Amino acid sequence: MLPDSNAPVLDAGCGSGRDYIEFSSRGVDVMGVDLSIGLLKLAEEAGCRKLAMSDLRKLPVQDASFAGVWSCASLVHMPPSGSRKAVSEFGRVLMPGGVLFLTVRHGSGTEWRNDGAGGSRWFQLYGKDELESIVTGVGFSIQTSVVEPGLVRGSWISVFATKGPK
């Protein structure tokens, strides 16, 4: 779906680099951003090179820098107001015609979940209409939006959207 297969992709919330490595192995020019310095260190150890520590609501890159933004389970740790700001930032950094993929946990409300290391993590769940409203509300056109069983816990909403020309 990328408008220019040679243009870069932003892995927004790259975590330990799993998806970054997959993109890179396919020849995609990818940059990863994450707010966690610990996860960025793991990504670097895994071979990721273009990395930046950043809040997704204020990305450290120029306007129209990417052909695609990949946001896999990155918005699950912010409330809808924060996700709206992040998706708006994704639009800012995308080139006209650029593609956005995002996926979040499906449901309503919030939950705390054990992290397996003696702590817990907070998750925001999203309804399909709620997520679609966030995406279209900042100017994206939804191409597909589906709720599917996830590989990890519960159902997930996956959205592919495009940025129109300005």
- CA dist 105 and 148 (Å) reads 10
Contact 20, 32 (CB under 8 A): yes
Check pLDDT > 60 for residue 39.
yes
Q: What pLDDT is stored for residue 115 in this prediction? A: 73
DSSP for 95-156, please give it: EEEEEEEEEEEBSSSEEEEE-SSS-EEEEE-B-HHHHHHHHHHTTEEEEEEEEEE-SSSSEE
- Predicted TM-score (pTM) of the model is 0.93
pLDDT band at 116 (very low <50, low <70, confident <90, very high): confident
pLDDT in tens, 66-108: 999 999 999 999 999 999 999 999 999 999 999 999 999 999 9
Tell me the backbone φ, ψ of residue 92, rounded to 5 degrees: -65, -40
Kindly tell me the burial class for residue 157, based on how many C-beta atoms sit within 10 Å of its own C-beta (0-12, 13-18, 19 or more): buried
53-66: pLDDT as tens digits: 999 999 999 999 99
H/E segment holding residue 32? strand 30-34
Q: Are 160 and 144 in contact (CB under 8 A)?
A: yes
Q: Write the pLDDT tens digit of every residue in 147-163.
A: 999 877 789 999 999 99
Residue type, 104: V
pLDDT bracket for residue 3 (50, 70, 90): low
